[in-house]
């Protein structure tokens, strides 16, 4: 009963009409061969593939789940065949290094592909997402020989990668890990320890699995500064890159979860498994953060993708469902009742979901473009600025996109009435699948702490200042006086001012009391997300007006709808930034007042 | 891993110190025999019973679900035995007419019992909740003979009642129902039709089930004015009240749902089943609303109860979980890390949940007391005023308590990190079970429409005016100048002014365009809920200060904590009323702008 078509038109509008991707790509040698037509073709094929191969497996995969027989993990029916399609088509190496078999596409495109994957089948998407992150990490930190042995396999989907961080007693606080790495005589290491919540730790999609494992060397300093990173394949890989004997990596079981049931979440035991050190000793956490940051943005797309399929499916339902009459009198007098979309409150819910989705798509594309600039842009200053933006906005993208994604799936479910609670309609699975995105890859609370700690207080607000300067420069860039754009202009300006005030206030307080940053973190992240969305909607509205006045790839009605949905964001969603600003003012004292044993 | 103890202390504080229950009861002949000690004893035994009998069946019932073999429905292991305990103890007739075997307890107590039931086992609670509603309806609308034949059975839990409204093509819009009632020669009716989503439509807890069924007589006018109400037992009941042969009531299947899996949600077929008319022909909807209103408040308690067990369980987890260090330096230097409750953002989540729960308990008690006054108070004017308050606040209680209950379970789940997503910890079940409460017994959108339509626009704001007058009179009633109470006083005053402004604005607009009421409904309901909570927190704070100054049943620390939690509500939750007020201003035009086929 789920309904999904890749939002190709909106993706193209965002990519080309809002963010001028073609011009952007032309300016960077690594992407100079790309153009709008090629991008369209890739996105279209991606959309076709996820709809044909993954969507039909989403509900059945949820019902069946992964199975564990004490040693092997079996993915649900159809997953192996679907994965083979993706691997053969080169979709596992979409953003990978072309010299080693990757497709070399920029993040702006791979992120849109991520959105489609998560929308059509979040469980399936995770196998690819972890692999992408692992490949990215190896690309940056592994030596040439290791890159050559592993990356072509990962890009080709012959093997899949994982990240192994969490242990039963530590998730957020990785300094506490107990997994040990003991040097072998041949320069390799014997890895011993147990990891939990390992996505794709064991499965039947590929015959080798490449684990990136955090462990401590014998001479490790205590805490987070003593963590090293190791590559530990399920089957040992020889110098020629051939997989051979088993490597002491054993799956101990699967978690039973609220959702993403077709994603194998494994307990993994490493029993003197042979691993190789990646990067420098004791520097593993920094390397892992490369992967985690990549995953964080990817997980943001889980929120967006699920919000999108939830919207499309709910609208599909709402068109058919007849209940009661429109407030002003029958809209469909020939039918026993009107379709529920005539009711203002039903429209409110639908527009909320849609505005979050379209705003999220704009924001994700913005961050993706900055990532591409940071990686590929010839100008060093542009790269440096883009890196700051990425650092600042990654926690926002992860947390705000997944908070809003979950909210969107819940609100879309509400649109169904009782059917939304029944499994057969699919809406409840979107809610369950979306819920994890607020938790894993660092809970959204941890993202907020990262934002206010590392990305704000540590640089005394310099990144935010530059973000605001850029926002304001963009507001000067044409159209603000147009009556159709004035509300968007005013809203973005007010949002910037509000964020600036909150930033100053927070910096001042954090200097006085270390608890203040944590106390403000959640509301500050929400405020940042809303403010950036206000900016994004200004961009979208400006592009829509340009499309109306000068023509564009979309139809007139599409541009008008864009303004309507954007206005809904201004009217009905952005006002909560005032509440967050107010809540932020409350400070830490109230939170710390209750004794620990009084909770 | 779930942790729950009935919040007896807080319930007693609310009952006696905030709402002076003993004095209240003494003023009404029907409850004059009740006193605080007796109430405490009942609550204590209720708490013991739910913890001993229901809590252990909650996770297992979720895992096992109800089974359907093509004819019979089997509840999960342990449910029959637990139900027998409750039936034998008289807990099925707690609020029932003493003349027919009920316990005659006021709503203020039965609602607290509901909270405990839903907390410990929401699926189980529903069998009792539907029965209570059915009994209430029969008590008010059935003739003497029918009351005598059925009520003692329902109060004793020998039989259980249901409500049969929804059909596949209509949930909200009951005017569309197709089930027919044809008069038999003996004065009974033959009921034919199918109903869906019937909670407890079939089960193995009792050997007869009493269905209250909406159907249309042959001469029924079209729409909602042509609906009659029938009592249709699963097994026919003779004049002496003995159950005999089967009555053409067949279960067609069970729904597969997101949660409340141990509650049998049935498709029911009535095949010329013999029924008796309850109340007047074509007046069935009004009678059914008696039951629905009762259920609505009860479902509000599902939100509150699940919020409470979610809180207690999450805190239980948080105390044991060690991750990272407190912002100002180690709080537990002898341990490898600090308990997560040292972190301000973790405390924020915990305090959010707690403040919603305690505010909800105050609000529920307030509505319950009004219900008792409406039913039992000797003074006609008091009864009339209380009836208005109940009418006004029932949709708010249903929707606001369940919205906040769901939010509370989600936020409590977040506190666990990854464990919150794993089934074994129980937190995810609370989320799934809480989700339905926003949907059934009239979606929360329907509640909002009821509030702005029937309870606001229809009386031109008279009910709200009287609510505000009462709130303001209460603010005059002592203590507002006390510095400890000043913030509560100011917040409640500001909330009243905000609600008043919004009310005026909405009334004005609704006169001009019928879409305006629907467009404002959601935000107006949220605003009303927050404003009433601000009032309730003023009451609680005043009682806490009284407890601190003059002593009370609780300890000093309890009263101080009450003020801390209340302050958290003012600082961190109430500010969203500003956003709702702003969103409400947006009006209907934006919502109606998008073409129906453009969604």
Find the catalytic residue in A202, A308, A411, A441: A441
Give the mutation candidate from B176, B347, B422 for the A interface (greatest A CB count, under 10 A): B347
pLDDT tens-digit map of B332-371: 999 989 999 999 999 999 999 999 999 999 999 999 999 9
Shared-domain flag, residues B568 and B453 = yes
- Pairing verdict, β A208-215 and A228-233: antiparallel
Residues from chain B that touch A168, judged by Cβ atoms under 8 A, are none
Taking the C-alpha atoms of residue A345 and residue B306, their distance in angstroms, rounded to an integer, is 27
Residue B192 β-bridge partners: B180
Residues A449 and A587 in one domain: yes
Asked if pLDDT for residue B286 goes beyond 90, the answer is no
Host H or E run for residue A266? strand A265-278
Residue A183, helix vs strand vs coil: strand
- Write down the mean pLDDT value for chain B: 96
| Ordered DSSP codes for A321-361 | -B-S--TTS-SSTTSSS-BGGGSHHHHHHHHHHHHHHHHHH
Whether B538 contacts B494, CB under 8 Å: no
B122 and B230 co-located in one domain = no
By CB atoms closer than 10 A (0-12, 13-18, 19+), residue A502 is: buried
The token pair at B224 is 């909602």
Contacts of B345 in chain A (CB under 8 A): 445, 448-449, 518-519, 521-522
Distance from CA of B337 to the nearest CA of A (A): 8
Q: A435 vs B431: CB contact, 8 Å cut-off?
A: yes
Q: Are residues B440 and A418, on separate chains, in Cβ contact within 8 Å?
A: yes
- For residue B173, list chain A residues with Cβ-Cβ distance below 8 A: 322-324, 337
On whether both B455 and B579 belong to a single domain, the answer is yes
Q: What was the pLDDT predicted at B171?
A: 80
Q: Which of A421, A523, A554, A561 to mutate to test the interface with B (most CBs of B within 10 A)?
A: A421
A281: buried, middle or exposed (CB in 10 Å: 19+, 13-18, 0-12)? middle
Q: Please report residues of A whose CB lies closer than 8 A to that of B418.
A: 166, 171, 197, 439-440
* Shared domain check, B450 and B587: yes
Domain annotation covers residue A326: no
In a domain, A293, yes or no: no
What residue of A is the nearest CA neighbor of B521? Answer: A345
| Nearest residue to A346 (alpha-carbon basis) of A420, A435, A431 | A420
The answer to whether residue B2 is domain-embedded is no
Nearest to A339 among B351, B423, B596 (CB): B596
What is the SS3 assignment for A439?
coil
C-alpha to C-alpha distance for B105 and B89, rounded to whole angstroms: 14
Longest CA span, chain A: 84
- Contact residues, chain B, for A406 at CB < 8 Å: 410
What's CA B278's distance to the chain center, in Å? 25
Q: Which two three-digit tokens encode residue B283?
A: 């007046």
CATH number at residue A85: 1.10.540.10
Smallest CA–CA distance, residue B7 to chain A, in Å, is 13
Q: How many CA atoms lie within 13 A of A555 on its CB side?
A: 4
Residues A123 and A192 occupy one common structural domain = no
Of residues B441, B460, B465, B476, which has the active-site annotation?
B441
- In this structure, the answer to whether residues A89 and A42 fall within a common structural domain is yes
Considering the domain architecture, whether residues A172 and A274 belong to the same structural domain is answered as yes
Q: How many domains does chain B have?
A: 3
Task: Report the SS3 class of residue B145.
Answer: helix
Query: A323 and B410 in contact by Cβ < 8 A?
Result: no
What's the confidence (pLDDT) of residue A289? 81
Chain A CB contacts of B509 under 8 Å are none
Task: Check whether residue B151 and residue B166 sit in a common domain.
Answer: no
CB pair distance less than 8 Å for A256 and B521: no
Residue A511: the pLDDT is: 93
* Degrees to nearest 5, angle at CA A452 with A451 and A454: 70
Q: What is the least distance, in Å, from the CA of A422 to any CA of chain B?
A: 4
Q: Write the residue in B319, B341, B519 that is nearest to A348 by C-beta.
A: B519
Q: Residue B551: left if φ>0, alpha if ψ -120 to 50, beta else—which one?
A: left
Note the pLDDT of residue B287. Answer: 86
Residues of chain A with pLDDT under 50: none
> Across-strand partners of A250?
A269
C-alpha A405/C-alpha A433 separation (Å) is 10
Q: Which among B257, B323, B341 has CB closest to A422?
A: B257
* Position B539 in a domain: yes
What does the angle CA B454 – CA B289 – CA B458 come to, to the nearest 5 degrees? 10
The pairing of beta strand B209-215 with beta strand B160-164 = parallel
Q: Among residues A260, A248, A12, which one has the least CA distance to residue A117?
A: A260
Can you tell me the distance from the alpha carbon of B163 to that of B211, in angstroms, rounded to the nearest whole number? 6
Using 50, 70 and 90 to split pLDDT, how confident is the model at B290?
A: confident
- Of B176, B417, B513, Cβ closest to residue A336: B176
Size of interface A-B (CB pairs under 8 A): 254
**What is d(CA B312, CA A599) in angstroms, rounded to the nearest whole number?**
9
**Of B155, B174, B207, which residue is a domain's last?**
B155
d(CA A541, CA A524): 25
**Does the pLDDT value for residue B381 go beyond 90?**
yes
Q: Is the sign of the CA dihedral B201, B202, B206, B211 positive or negative?
A: positive
Boundaries of domain holding B560: 444-592
Cα-to-chain-centroid distance, residue A29: 27
Please confirm, yes or no, whether A441 is among the known catalytic residues: yes
Is A287 a domain residue? no
B511 CB neighbour count, 10 Å cutoff: 12
The answer as to whether A400 is a domain residue is: no
Closest CA to B228 of B278, B183, B165: B278
The three-state DSSP-derived secondary structure of A500-527 is HHHHHHHHHHHHHCCHHHHHHHHHHHHH
Quick check: helix, strand or coil at residue B283? strand
Identify the residue among B312, B313, B348, B440 best suited for mutation to test binding to A, counting A beta carbons within 10 A and taking the highest.
B348
Q: Find the largest Cα–Cα distance for chain B.
A: 84
Q: Is B571 in Cβ contact with A576 (below 8 Å)?
A: no
Q: Per the domain annotation, does A376 fall within a domain?
A: no
How far is B462 from chain A, CA to nearest CA, in Å?
A: 22
Contact B172 A417 (CB under 8 A): yes
Same domain, B149 and B186: no
Q: Per-residue pLDDT tens for B503-517?
A: 999 999 999 998 999
Residues B453 and B587 occupy one common structural domain: yes
Q: Quick one: average pLDDT of B450-479?
A: 96
Strand blocks (E) in B263-308? 265-278
Task: Give pLDDT, residue B478.
Answer: 81
Query: How far away is chain A from the Cα of B327, in angstroms, using its nearest Cα?
Result: 5
CATH number at residue B174: 2.40.110.20
At B140, list the tokens.
């008010």
Residue A417 domain flag: no
Q: Residue A210: which CATH number?
A: 2.40.110.10
Q: Is B112 helix (H, G, I), strand (E, B) or coil?
A: helix
* Domain termination site, one of B155, B184, B200: B155
Residue A543 CA to residue B458 CA, distance in Å, equals 45
Within this chain, do residues A513 and A547 fall inside the same structural domain, yes or no? yes
Last residue of a domain, one of B138, B155, B172: B155
Please list every residue in chain A whose beta carbon sits closer than 8 Å to the beta carbon of residue B421. Answer: 257-259, 435-436, 439-440
pLDDT at B162 over 90: yes
| Beta pairing partners, B189 | B183, B275
Residues of chain A with C-beta less than 8 angstroms from the C-beta of B517: 327
Rounded to whole angstroms, what are the CA distances from A161 to A110, B33, B481, B521? Answer: 18, 71, 65, 49
CA distance B375 to chain A (A): 32
């Amino acid at each position: 009963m789920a309904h999904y078509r890749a939002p190709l038109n909106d993706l193209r509008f965002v990519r080309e009409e809002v963010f001028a991707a073609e011009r952007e790509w032309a300016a960077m040698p690594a992407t100079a061969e790309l153009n709008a037509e090629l991008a369209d073709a890739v996105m279209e094929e991606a959309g076709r593939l996820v709809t044909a191969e993954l969507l039909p497996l989403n509900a059945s995969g949820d019902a069946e789940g992964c199975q564990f027989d004490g040693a092997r993990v079996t993915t649900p029916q159809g997953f192996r065949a679907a994965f083979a399609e993706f691997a053969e088509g080169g979709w596992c190496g979409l953003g990978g290094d072309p010299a080693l078999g990757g497709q070399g596409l920029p993040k702006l495109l791979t992120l849109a592909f991520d959105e489609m994957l998560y929308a059509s089948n979040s469980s399936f998407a995770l196998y690819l997402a972890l692999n992408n992150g692992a490949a990215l990490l190896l690309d940056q930190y592994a030596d040439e020989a290791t890159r050559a042995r592993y990356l072509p396999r990962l890009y080709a989907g012959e093997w899949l990668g994982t990240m192994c961080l969490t242990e039963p007693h530590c998730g957020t606080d990785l300094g506490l890990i107990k997994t040990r790495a003991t040097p072998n005589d041949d320069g390799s290491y014997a890895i011993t320890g147990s990891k939990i919540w390992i996505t794709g730790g064991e499965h039947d999609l590929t015959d080798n699995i490449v684990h990136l494992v955090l462990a401590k060397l014998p001479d490790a300093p205590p805490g987070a500064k003593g963590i090293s990173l190791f590559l530990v394949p399920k089957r040992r890989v020889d110098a020629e890159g051939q997989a051979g004997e088993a490597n002491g990596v054993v799956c101990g079981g699967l978690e039973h979860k609220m959702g993403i049931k077709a994603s194998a979440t494994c307990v993994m035991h490493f029993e003197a498994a042979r691993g190789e050190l990646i990067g420098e000793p004791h520097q593993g956490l920094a390397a892992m953060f490369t992967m985690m940051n990549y995953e964080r943005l990817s997980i943001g797309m889980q929120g967006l993708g699920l919000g999108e399929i939830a919207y499309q499916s709910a609208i599909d339902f709402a068109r058919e469902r007849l209940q009661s009459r429109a407030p002003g009198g029958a809209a469909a007098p020939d039918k026993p009742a009107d379709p529920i979309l005539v009711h203002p409150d039903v429209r409110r819910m639908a527009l909320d979901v849609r505005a979050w989705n379209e705003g999220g798509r704009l924001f994700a594309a913005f961050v993706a473009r900055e990532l591409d600039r940071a990686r590929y842009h010839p100008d060093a200053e542009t790269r440096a600025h883009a890196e700051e933006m990425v650092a600042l906005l990654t926690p926002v993208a992860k947390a705000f996109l997944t908070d809003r994604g979950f909210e969107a799936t819940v609100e879309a479910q509400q649109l169904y009435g009782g059917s939304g609670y029944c499994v057969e309609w699919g809406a409840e699975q979107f809610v369950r699948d979306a819920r994890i995105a607020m938790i894993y890859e660092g809970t959204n609370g941890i993202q907020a702490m990262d934002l206010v700690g590392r990305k704000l207080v540590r640089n005394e607000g310099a990144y935010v200042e530059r973000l605001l300067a850029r926002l304001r420069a963009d507001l000067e860039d044409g159209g603000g006086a147009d009556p159709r754009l004035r509300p968007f202009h005013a809203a973005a300006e007010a949002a910037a001012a509000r964020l600036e005030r909150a930033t100053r206030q927070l910096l001042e307080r954090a200097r006085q009391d270390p608890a203040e940053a944590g106390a403000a973190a959640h509301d500050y992240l929400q405020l940042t997300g809303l403010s950036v969305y206000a900016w994004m909607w200004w961009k979208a509205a400006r592009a829509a007006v340009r499309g109306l006045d000068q023509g564009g790839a979309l139809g007139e009605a599409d541009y008008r709808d864009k303004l309507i949905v954007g206005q809904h964001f201004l009217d009905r969603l952005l006002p909560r930034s005032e509440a967050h600003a107010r809540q932020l003012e409350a400070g830490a004292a109230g939170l710390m007042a209750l004794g620990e044993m009084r909770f």
